[in-house]
Amino acid sequence: MAVHTSHVWRDTFRGKLLRCLRLSSKVPPSIHSSGLIYLDTIDGARSCIPYLPGLGQNPQTPNNISPKGVHHPNQPTNTNNHNRHNNNPTEPAMTTNTPPQPPTMTPATPARAAALLSNLAAVRARVSTAALQSPIPSKPIRLVAVSKLKPASDALALHQTPGSQLHFGENYLQELLEKSRLLPASIKWHFIGGLQSNKCVTLARDVPGLWAVESVDSEKKAKLLDKGWGDRSPEMAATNHDEDGRLRVYVQVNTSGEENKAGIEPAGAAALCRYVREQCPRLKLQGFMTIGAIARSRVTTVENENEDFVCLSDTRDRVVRELGLVGDEAALELSMGMSSDFEGAIALGSDQVRVGTTIFGDRPPKAEASVV
């Protein structure tokens, strides 16, 4: 039976070019009964549009139109999918797309797991001692185990009993995406690497168990993170760890003034914090983060204060005053201190330290690293 058309136009549907049809009243009964017109796309998939009756009179039928749908004149029909009919002639053949299977993760060897747990216990002991000796009163220090460029099995070995480590940090979005889909949803992920604007939405939208983004240094990035967090699917939102449903963010401050370092200048921190609080309703301003100068980190001790840590603390205090924050809102955290200097950071009031090599050992080159 010929299908009559009154108009043919081009549109984009699922990223594919379709020629869509307005059908006259001379529509095959099978299409009438289903209420849909089934179209074959130019790449061999099948899609549908609603049937709109009573449109057009005395149309001309293009040569590339058949009762089954529309075909590109140079595109062969995929007989494997489109000609597979079921017993009900009113329903089209369906194409089944099998989702890719996640890679298989090999658990850490007993020897590797034991070494990791020993390193973690030693770092925790040092953190506790530094907190007790700090002249600045602080709540319990949060330890973020930075697992970048290490296999997911390392993180799993520390997350499981008896390690029970909850907070893990990653620097690269693709690596974080892969690990967060392999590992338990109970892990609280921190993104601590340099943040590119074109990756903000994906980061906030697609990472299960994302607990915080610690490298926000512009209004644009904050707004894109806010958008991405709002676009999370219900299944993804179920992995959120914050009771009020917001994404924690830290404003990264370039305390050393180095041109190759990310982060906002200390003088601009208050304006960015105000923007996050007033213009990004899905974000929760958690505090401030810095990655200080390497030379200063190497000579940092409890007695030898790191200028970068002093600068971040002063920046936090100034922002609290300028924004008029009081109570819990004034309790903005300081995320500072890594493997070589975390004890000195705790002495200056750090609420969170990010430790990688002291727990996981030296990292391989990025090109040689593997998630599984």
Give residue 353's region: left, alpha or beta (phi > 0; psi -120 to 50): beta
Q: For residue 276, what is the domain's CATH number?
A: 3.20.20.10
Q: Is residue 370 part of a domain?
A: no
**Residues 290/263, Cβ–Cβ less than 8 Å:** yes
Are 185 and 313 found together in one domain?
yes
Q: What share of the chain is helix, strand, coil (3-state, %, to 5)?
A: 35, 20, 45
Q: Is residue 97 part of a domain?
A: no
Mean pLDDT of all residues in 10-24: 37
Place of tokens 């149309």: 59
Q: Is residue 125 part of a domain?
A: yes
Are 221 and 264 found together in one domain?
yes
Are 128 and 246 found together in one domain?
yes
What is the span of the domain harbouring residue 123?
A: 110-364
Q: Is residue 90 part of a domain?
A: no
Q: Is residue 369 part of a domain?
A: no
Give me the number of domains the chain comprises.
Answer: 2
Which residues pair with residue 249 across a beta bridge? 213, 285
Are 68 and 176 found together in one domain?
no
Kindly list the distances between the CA atom of residue 239 and the CA atoms of 144, 165, 229, 248, 285, in Å, as whole numbers in the listed order: 19, 17, 12, 14, 20
Mean pLDDT of all residues in 287-305: 78
The token duo for 242 is 């914050």
Q: Where are the beta strands (DSSP E) in 237-311?
A: 247-252, 283-289
* C-alpha to C-alpha distance for 370 and 294, rounded to whole angstroms: 27
Are 178 and 299 found together in one domain?
yes
Q: Is residue 218 part of a domain?
A: yes
Are 13 and 77 found together in one domain?
yes
When pLDDT is cut at 50, 70 and 90, the band that residue 270 belongs to is very high
Checking if the pLDDT of 364 tops 60, the result is yes
When pLDDT is cut at 50, 70 and 90, the band that residue 336 belongs to is very high
Q: What angle do CA 216, 233, 179 make, to 5 degrees?
A: 60
Are 76 and 119 found together in one domain?
no
- The four Cα atoms 4, 10, 13, 14 give a dihedral, to 10 degrees, of 120
**Residues 266/311, Cβ–Cβ less than 8 Å:** yes
Q: Is residue 126 part of a domain?
A: yes
Are 125 and 35 found together in one domain?
no
Q: Is residue 99 part of a domain?
A: no
- Give me the percent of the chain exceeding a pLDDT of 90: 64
Q: What is the pLDDT of residue 305?
A: 83
Which residues pair with residue 20 across a beta bridge? 9
Q: What is the CA radius of gyration of the chain?
A: 28
User: Mean pLDDT for the chain?
Assistant: 80
From 67, 82, 97, the end of a domain falls on: 82
Q: What is the pLDDT of residue 337?
A: 96
Q: What is the pLDDT of residue 299?
A: 66
Mean pLDDT of all residues in 288-297: 83
From 29, 64, 82, the end of a domain falls on: 82
Are 141 and 64 found together in one domain?
no
Checking if the pLDDT of 165 tops 50, the result is yes
Which residues pair with residue 264 across a beta bridge? 253
Are 170 and 298 found together in one domain?
yes
